[in-house]
Structure 1
Amino acid sequence: MKRQRSPRSSSRPSASRRESAKPLGKLRIIGGDFRRRQLPVLDHPGLRPTPDRVRETLFNWLGQALSGKQVLDLFAGTGALGIESLSRGAAQVTFVERDIHVAALIRENLATLKTAQGKVVTADAQAFVKAPGQPMDVVFLDPPFHQGLAAPCCAALESGGWLASDAMIYLETEQSLAPAVPANWQLYRETQAGESIARLYQRLPA
């Protein structure tokens, strides 16, 4: 679950923002070493969880592809996709989340799980992928809806060296959007849930 917020004039959170950063409920880990563990998530404006059914479908698609892999979770939100990857054997997951409160809770949840394989970067996801990167085996890309972020992020991942030669890229968008993705990304699977559509792409050598 992911979202992007407009910049504020001050880095100090307002009273209303502090009040909104309260635990809302629990994130349930579906499979792997942390299966059935429940972690707190925040009641925070714009936080849009990937439904459990879609998450379960996605990780069924990926199967054993996560063991020993490098994973990038952009617009990380609760970090559900990245944490699920760690549970299923990913070697390292980089979580990119702009909001300091949301990013802090990902760090707390990783500490609760006693895993050192997760790294949280507090940064704007679009700006993050514009910088040169190291090849990732799996990328989760779930930008906020109706902000036109999917296409430029996809292009930046491809052009910036962020993708391994056979990388898998998960992209979740609003149903009304037909995302423009690089020509060498082959659609592998897709599913719909509510107002969103989830697609998994396999990268082919350019």
Structure 2
Amino acid sequence: MKPHHKKPHSQASHQVRIIGGQWKRTPLSVITAEGLRPTPDRVRETVFNWINHLFDSEWQSRRCLDLFAGSGALGFEAASRGASEVLLVEAFTPAFRQIEEVKAKLKASSVQIQRGDALLVAANLTKNKKKFDLIFLDPPFNQGFLEKILPICIDLLSENGIVYVEAEQALPFVLEGQATDVIPAWCQGWELLRKDKAGNVHFQILQRNKEVGNLDENLG
């Protein structure tokens, strides 16, 4: 399987930290590699405040999936807050091994790790009718991953599940009142719940529309 990240220029590392929960303030080492962008601490703090509100602070029964795990920071953050099951998917071997080390260090029994191509793993999970309450999508930028994987996520979500997306630009359906026929097919079927921007990174939380194709009503 072709890795999503290019070969690292060096094996140097830096750190991010877990924001909340049982492992709060625990530092996580992150390898330095081209295309690997761990979500900054302050962005994760904002995002998990959003998610905590949407979940009414109830994490115990939540099943989470991170299809481009990278550092694993998003998934370990969810596990730290009490998520019952977290599946981290990563194709790049050095990053995968780093996640394994963090899991062992934290004794994170709720976290499972799978090495593989995100698109293939997502398709297989769909085939096996797996459902998740929270899906993280933070793919390498400018490689067209969101166009391919976001439609698959519709079938991976539980009834009231949500998707967190990081992207290099605002997704095209975020404009309120935008007609369905001008929205790309891969963006249809979604409702925007939250959005913000930090530097050049756009981040947003989406939920599947109750009625696919009736985007104006759901955004109104």
Q: Please, what TM-score do these two structures have when normalized by structure 1?
A: 0.85
Provide the rounded CA distance (Å) in 2 between the counterparts of 1:198 and 1:18.
25
In structure 2, what is the equivalent of residue 195 of structure 1?
A: 200
- In the alignment, does 2:23 pair up with 1:34? yes
In structure 2, what is the equivalent of residue 141 of structure 1?
A: 137
Aligned residue-pair number: 191
Q: 1:23 to 1:65 in 2, by over 3 A?
A: farther
Q: Please, what TM-score do these two structures have when normalized by structure 2?
A: 0.80
Question: 1:182: how far off?
Answer: 4.8
Q: Are the counterparts in 2 of residues 166 and 205 from structure 1 also a CA contact under 8 Å?
A: no
Q: Are the counterparts in 2 of residues 165 and 204 from structure 1 also a CA contact under 8 Å?
A: no
| Structure 2 residues without counterparts, runs of 5 or longer | 174-183, 212-220
Provide the rounded CA distance (Å) in 2 between the counterparts of 1:164 and 1:80.
23
Provide the rounded CA distance (Å) in 2 between the counterparts of 1:66 and 1:140.
15
Secondary structure of the corresponding residue to residue 102 of structure 1: helix
Mapping 1:148-167, distance limit 5 Å: 148-158=144-154, 161-167=155-161
Q: Are the counterparts in 2 of residues 174 and 196 from structure 1 also a CA contact under 8 Å?
A: yes
In structure 2, what is the equivalent of residue 59 of structure 1?
A: 48
Question: 1:168: how far off?
Answer: 0.7
- In the alignment, does 2:10 pair up with 1:5? no
Structure 1 residue identity aligned to 2:15: K
Provide the rounded CA distance (Å) in 2 between the counterparts of 1:183 and 1:24.
38
In structure 1, what is the equivalent of residue 176 of structure 2?
A: none
Question: 1:5: how far off?
Answer: 3.1
Q: Which has the higher strand share?
A: 1
Secondary structure of the corresponding residue to residue 76 of structure 2: helix
Q: Are the counterparts in 2 of residues 78 and 102 from structure 1 also a CA contact under 8 Å?
A: yes
Q: Which has the higher helix share?
A: 2
Q: Are the counterparts in 1 of residues 65 and 135 from structure 2 also a CA contact under 8 Å?
A: yes
Question: 1:4: how far off?
Answer: 1.8
Q: What CA deviation, in whole Å up to 9, does each residue of 1:132-160 have, x standing for no partner?
A: 240000000011111111021011122xx
In structure 2, what is the equivalent of residue 14 of structure 1?
A: none
Q: What CA deviation, in whole Å up to 9, does each residue of 1:118-141 have, x standing for no partner?
A: 111100112211222400000000
Higher relative contact order (CA 8 A, sep 6+): 1
Give the ranges of 4+ consecutive aligned residues of structure 1 lying more than 6 Å apart after TM superposition: none
Secondary structure of the corresponding residue to residue 39 of structure 1: strand
Sequence identity, in percent? 37
Mapping 1:8-27, distance limit 5 Å: 17=7, 20=10, 22-27=11-16
In structure 2, what is the equivalent of residue 113 of structure 1?
A: 106
Q: 1:65 to 1:189 in 2, by over 3 A?
A: farther
Q: Are the counterparts in 1 of residues 38 and 71 from structure 2 also a CA contact under 8 Å?
A: yes
Provide the rounded CA distance (Å) in 1 between the counterparts of 2:76 and 2:12.
18
| Structure 1 residues without counterparts, runs of 5 or longer | 7-16
- In the alignment, does 2:88 pair up with 1:95? yes
Provide the rounded CA distance (Å) in 2 between the counterparts of 1:128 and 1:40.
25
Provide the rounded CA distance (Å) in 2 between the counterparts of 1:25 and 1:19.
14
Secondary structure of the corresponding residue to residue 194 of structure 2: strand
Q: Give the root-mean-square deviation of aligned CA atoms.
A: 2.0
In structure 2, what is the equivalent of residue 11 of structure 1?
A: none
